[in-house]
Structure 1
Amino acid sequence: MTLSPTPAPDAPKTEWRSWARATRGALPDRSAEVTAHLRGLLHAQGARRVLAYRALPGEPDVSGLAEDFTLLAPRARFRPTPRLTLHAWDTATEPSRFGALQPPVNAPEEALATVDAVLLPALAYDRRGVRLGYGGGFYDRLLPDFGGLVVGVTWAPLVVPELPSEAHDSRAGWLATEEGVARVRP
């Protein structure tokens, strides 16, 4: 499989997002391997309650973790200010505007303070834990108040040496791919 070359580190995020989407579309689904590595890390770190995500097409599907952990699912809210709310995993039954399943608007909310770990989806990561998200800033607003384990989840070919970043961008403390998990070194 031949992947297109990565953009320059100082290229605009829009160029990086295009590259990541094209690269992701050419990769096989190895979600079971990602999930196995995550399961080991989460158990080793003592996590019980985990904010996960319902996978978009092309993202690693982490739903298999529901057998071992209490998973929560996010809902993107746009008013009065954009934010994520957290809900029981099994309430994620309606499609969001992004295409992933999310809890309905009236699902009971869970507090971030009850979460041990956050699994952070992304288009790509760099080796410092910098996340290339989808551009909405939802996790960037959620994570500054979170003191638990933050694990970036993506495919190994989407982990690059350096991504453009801004001061408000969320960073992961760990990266999980189909090849394993690794602590990030800033």
Structure 2
Amino acid sequence: MKERKKELRSWIARQKAQYNDSTLKELSADILAELERTPAFDRAQTVLLYHSLKDEVYTHTFIEKWSQRKRIVLPVVVGNELELRIYTDPKDLIIGAYGIAEPIGRQFTEYESIDLAVIPGVAFDVNGHRLGRGKGYYDRLLPQIHGTKIGICFPFQLIDEVPSEAFDIPMNAVISL
């Protein structure tokens, strides 16, 4: 299982390398426009998002846009766990673990109020299974989130089958193009 996941991560990295940054940003805009059209996003008051890395669906502008109308919560890496914090403004971000911009401020613990969780992944499959980067951060966070979970990914990251284990939490939906 571990080897299959490692091979899949490597294959996805090779696929991603075939795209330049501007193409990935264009694809990101289309994916996020699709997310905006979902009833789950429309209804959501509190949305868990992520501040994207260079190789993920680009969320920086999307976070800024929606933070004026919805409560946006972002993860912060603390040790082996993800803590959540409310996004307030780009000036209130600092570069944290793995080079990810993370919000400062106090910890957000009202997990039950999260209506929608938008989750990144290395790969997703048609049944909503997710392959992460291998550290298990979202594996430990997702069981605490009871709202709708939507994975977002580039087209080459949506595959037929992701190797999954009993503890893996599937997404309610996956948005790609």
Q: TM-score, normalised by structure 1?
A: 0.80
Q: Is the 8 A contact 2:47 2:117 kept in 1?
A: yes
Q: Show the counterpart of 2:18.
A: 26
From 3, 12, 35, the counterpart of 2:4: 12
Question: What pairs up with 1:1-186 in 2 under 5 angstroms?
Answer: 12-27=4-19, 28-29=23-24, 30-41=27-38, 46-63=43-60, 64-68=62-66, 69-78=70-79, 82-90=80-88, 93-104=93-104, 107-110=105-108, 111-177=110-176, 179=177
C-alpha displacement of 1:10: 9.1
The number of equivalent residue pairs is 165
Decide which structure has greater helix share: 2
After superposition, what is the alpha-carbon deviation per residue over 1:25-77, rounded to whole angstroms, capped at 9, x for unaligned? Answer: 22321111111111111566511110000001121112315433321110011
C-alpha displacement of 1:99: 2.0
Structure 1: how far apart are the matches of 2:73 and 2:123? 22
Structure 2: how far apart are the matches of 1:101 and 1:42? 28
Name which of structure 1's ranges 148-157 and 33-42 shifts more when overlaid on structure 2.
33-42
Percent of matched pairs sharing the same residue: 27
RMSD of equivalent CA atoms: 2.1
Structure 2: how far apart are the matches of 1:118 and 1:175? 12
Structure 2, unpaired ranges of 5+: none
Structure 2: how far apart are the matches of 1:87 and 1:146? 14
Structure 2: how far apart are the matches of 1:10 and 1:75? 26
